[in-house]
Amino acid sequence: SADLGDISDTTNADVAKENDLFAEGVSYAPIVVIAGENMVVTGLDEDLMGKASGYEGQVKIQPKDAFGERKPELVEVVPTRRFEKRPTPGTRVSLDNRTGTVESVVGGRVRVDFNSPYAGKTISYQYTIEKIVDKTVEKVKGLLKYYLNKDFNVSIAKKRVKVDMPYEMGFNPQVQYYKKLLAEKIMLFADTEEVDYIEVHKRPEPVSEEAVEGASEEASEKKADQQSEGQGKKEETVPA
């Protein structure tokens, strides 16, 4: 929670719903982190060190060890032509690999704050260590989930890791960046010597005859409705 007040993030779905934070597509479940590897803010990272499975605690973190102090120079004015769609105040936008919040839009200029929404705030974390991850495959899956927010099929044989990855993900520049980072972390912390990303292509699921017939009937009905509406309009324009 920010400034020991409103809850701003959680891995618990019930808590997210109670605080109007729930979002479809977001995984609400325990996450795997490597203590001391800056996978969370510095203050929490330090607090995790040396803790055992089952530990429950809370830590209050000052801005310098959380999301930093606010920096006025990170508030910038950007031409609206830099955006695909005209942004609106309050929305989060991505530009030049940075994410910011739109403060105002005046004419052809957009004022964007690239500070973290939590910059300058004291943060309180309440957490539970569910377990210490020992199995190599769980470490690998945990790291993949943390960085790519997706579950993958993983197999390991003779210190060689194979990760099945849908080919569509290859078009995402962010995924390409994290693949190298992940390979390095997997080899270092999961005691493996090689990481192979296997591009997976799956045969499209066949469309049943019932579905085809249903779609055809729906299209026919829609066409008939359009023709009926068109006829009605023509009749209305005929003078008495």
Read off the pLDDT of each residue in 89-103 and give the average, rounded to a whole number. 92
pLDDT tier, 185 (very low <50, low <70, confident <90, very high otherwise): very high
More confident residue, 84 or 73: 73
CA distance 11 to 4: 18
Largest Cα span, the chain = 90
pLDDT reported for residue 23: 84
Percent of the chain with pLDDT over 70: 84
pLDDT reported for residue 203: 83
pLDDT reported for residue 234: 43
pTM for the whole structure:
0.70
Helix (H) or strand (E) holding 109: strand 109-113
pLDDT reported for residue 9: 85
pLDDT reported for residue 237: 39
Read off the pLDDT of each residue in 67-76 and give the average, rounded to a whole number. 95
More confident residue, 233 or 39: 39
CA distance 117 to 121: 9
Residue 230 has pLDDT above 60, yes or no: no
Give me the chain's average pLDDT, please: 85
pLDDT reported for residue 176: 87
Helix (H) or strand (E) holding 232: helix 209-237
pLDDT tier, 214 (very low <50, low <70, confident <90, very high otherwise): low
pLDDT tier, 21 (very low <50, low <70, confident <90, very high otherwise): confident
Helix (H) or strand (E) holding 196: strand 194-200
